[in-house]
Amino acid sequence: MNLATMKRIKQQFYSVKQFILLSLLLAGCSPSVTNTSLKTNLQNTKPAWMSAKPAQDMYYIGIGHSVKDGTNNYIQSAKNSALEDLVSEIKVNISSTSVLSQIDANKEFQEKYEQIIQTKAADDIEEFEQVDAWEDERNYWLYYRLSKQRYKEIKDEQKRNAVTLALDFFTKAKQSERSNDVIQALGFYFQGFRAIEKYLAEPIQLEFEGKSILLTNEIYANIQQLLDKMQLSVSPGEIMVNRRVAESGQTVMAKSTFKDSKKAIGDLPLKASFEKGAGDVFPDYKTDGSGQSKILITKIGSRDLEQTVGVKVNLLAFAGQGASDISSLVAQKMTVPKASILLKVQRPLVYVSAIEKSLGADKANQQMTNKLKNFLTNSGFELTDEKAKAELWMDVNANSEKGAVSGSIYITYVTAVIKVITLKDGKEIYATTLDRIKGYSLDYDRSSQEAYNKSLETLEKEKMPELLNAILQ
């Protein structure tokens, strides 16, 4: 090796050495590519607020936690958790003079109300602040606080605005009531109630027309007083209704009047529903100028021979679009005019004709027909041997035929046609075919029986539900 070559190698080694030293120096001075806060937290002990929730007279405290499982937004999850914890410290104090105490002696309503308020409170929280956060490789913790004084100031302002709006609706309701416009009055009362529904636990005392009133209590009382002046009746109160009522529908007339004057109440929203039994009844109505509305029953779904449809004033219709959970709760506590319709349910009479054969010969046991008869009986129908008395005629025609023989295995196919016809007008309302249901065994007789057994399974799982639905439509 000559001198020039040795000199060049020495220079290259020196350059590499310089590069390594420079890299190490830069690495020591530059920020780490890892999360510095996480590195710091891993080196430090957990803060005290994680071990014991701070107690501060001037603040509501919320501590949130989330696990870093790789599938969630752990920061947002911790924020939600902290807010929920913060809100849990804000208690709803029920005043003895509030409307809640007035309408709820057993405290059941109050408990539900508090749950709703607590659930919605997080959406109304403003101006909370983050005090601290801590994390490790698997967990993220968050510390929020909210000034009690500032929270009170915000809530007081919101309450003042709500009371102003509620008072305006209350004034309009009173004016409408004096003008004998009861429907409009109820609408204004409910709008006023909704404006201050978040403050039902508090007494809202103010001056109105020269006297001191508790606004929420007064609104509630006025709504109930108007409802107490109304009455609701149905005609007829008892009807005979066929199990197949959907064939034509069944109507009952509901009428609303004032108790004292017997004057009709028009534009009154009503709601109908089954109270006993089951079925379909058109739910929403509004009375006409004569205070009347036709209640339409379209389906009887229960086998009970006596069933009841209730008709009542629909209070939530006065609450406007998207009635709140609190409005719904209040409406349930009020006594509303209502009436009931007693349904005497008649079982439709069905005449059944059948031909069931096995390999062309009459079957001694009509399995398919017997299964259909049991199904109809259990579904609220009555069978008759007199076709002239029946409303419906069900015809069953089934037979099995020989198929191929494979070794010692004999194959048989069952085909069945089922029809239901109304005897009044001869209209076919249902028809279906069980097409070539296959059975196989060691001879044709047993193979035919196997095919019939499989046909019964298909009948029960697929055909019977659609048959019943077709009959009751």
Enumerate domains of the chain plus CATH numbers: 38-95+116-150 (3.10.28.20), 230-317+331-346 (2.60.40.10), 349-472 (3.30.160.180)
**Lowest-pLDDT range of 19-33, 51-65, 99-113, 198-212:** 19-33
pLDDT at site 248: 57
DSSP state of 196: T
Which burial class, exposed, middle or buried, applies to 379 when counting CB atoms under 10 A from its CB (0-12, 13-18, 19+)? middle
Considering only CA atoms, which of 421, 291, 290 is closest in space to residue 351? 421
Q: What mean pLDDT comes out for the span 277-290?
A: 93
Residue 228: pLDDT band (50, 70, 90) is: very high
Which of the two residues, 37 and 53, has the higher pLDDT score? 53
pLDDT at residue 201, as a whole number: 82
Per the prediction, the chain carries an average pLDDT of 85
Neighbours of 326 (CB within 10 A): 19
Q: Does 29 have pLDDT greater than 70?
A: no
Cα 388-390-393 angle, rounded to 5 deg: 105
Closest CA to 290 of 336, 335, 253: 253
Residue 6 has pLDDT above 60, yes or no: no
101-115, 130-144, 385-399: least confident range: 101-115
- What count of other Cβ atoms lies within 10 Å of the Cβ of residue 261? 8
Q: Could you tell me the pTM of the whole model?
A: 0.69
Average pLDDT, integer, range 63-81: 90
Strands (E), 17-95: 59-67
Give tens-digit pLDDT for 296-307: 998 888 878 899
Which whole number is the average pLDDT over 324-328?
81
Helix (H, G, I), strand (E, B) or coil at 305: coil
Which of these ranges, 17-26, 149-158, 189-198, 220-229, has the smallest mean pLDDT?
Answer: 17-26
d(CA 119, CA 272): 31
Report yes or no: 392 and 349 within 8 Å, Cβ to Cβ: yes
Q: Note the pLDDT of residue 8.
A: 52
CA dihedral 193→195→201→205, nearest 10 degrees, is: -80
Average the pLDDT over 204-223 and give the result: 92
- The C-alpha R_g of the chain, in whole angstroms, comes to 39
Buried b (16+ CB within 10 A) or exposed e, 32-56: eeeeeeeeebeeeeeeeeeeeeeee
Q: Is the pLDDT of residue 68 over 80?
A: yes
Residue 30: pLDDT band with limits 50, 70, 90: very low
Query: What percent of the chain has a predicted confidence (pLDDT) above 90?
Result: 55
Whether 31 has a pLDDT exceeding 90, the answer reads: no
Of 243 and 268, the one with more pLDDT: 268
Compute the average pLDDT of residues 33-44.
46
- Region 395-412 average pLDDT: 92
- Mean pLDDT across the stretch 346-364? 90
The tens digit of pLDDT for each residue in 81-109 reads: 999 899 888 877 777 788 877 776 566 77
Using CA atoms, how far apart are residues 424 and 171, in angstroms rounded to an integer? 61
CA 236, 242, 246, 248: dihedral to nearest 10 degrees? -70
Count CB neighbours of 67 within 10 A: 13
Average pLDDT value for residue range 255-281: 94
